[in-house]
Amino acid sequence: MPDKEIQSNSFFLLKYANKCYGTYYVDASDIKQLEKLNRAYEQVRSITDEVRNWASRIQKHKDEIARDGINDQFISEFEIAKFQSLMHGYGAQAIDHAKSFLEDWHDQHYWKSKKAKAKVEAEPENEDLVESST
Domain ranges of the chain: 27-107
* pLDDT of 131 over the 70 cut: no
Q: What is the pTM of this model?
A: 0.63
Q: What is the mean pLDDT of the chain?
A: 80
Bin 105: left if φ > 0, else alpha if -120 < ψ < 50, else beta: alpha
Q: Measure the CA dihedral 80/61/44/97, to 10°.
A: 0
Distance CA(19)–CA(121), nearest Å, equals 9
**Distance in angstroms between the alpha carbons of the first and the last residue of the chain:** 43
Structural contact between residues 36 and 22, judged by C-beta atoms closer than 8 angstroms: no
Taken in order 64, 66, 70, 73, the sign of the CA dihedral is positive
Mean pLDDT of all residues in 75-102: 95
Task: Give the model's pLDDT for residue 111.
Answer: 76
Structure confidence by residue, pLDDT tens digits, 44-81: 999 999 999 999 999 999 999 999 999 999 999 999 99
Distance CA(84)–CA(58), nearest Å, equals 11
Task: Give the model's pLDDT for residue 122.
Answer: 54
Q: What percentage of the chain reaches a pLDDT higher than 90?
A: 57
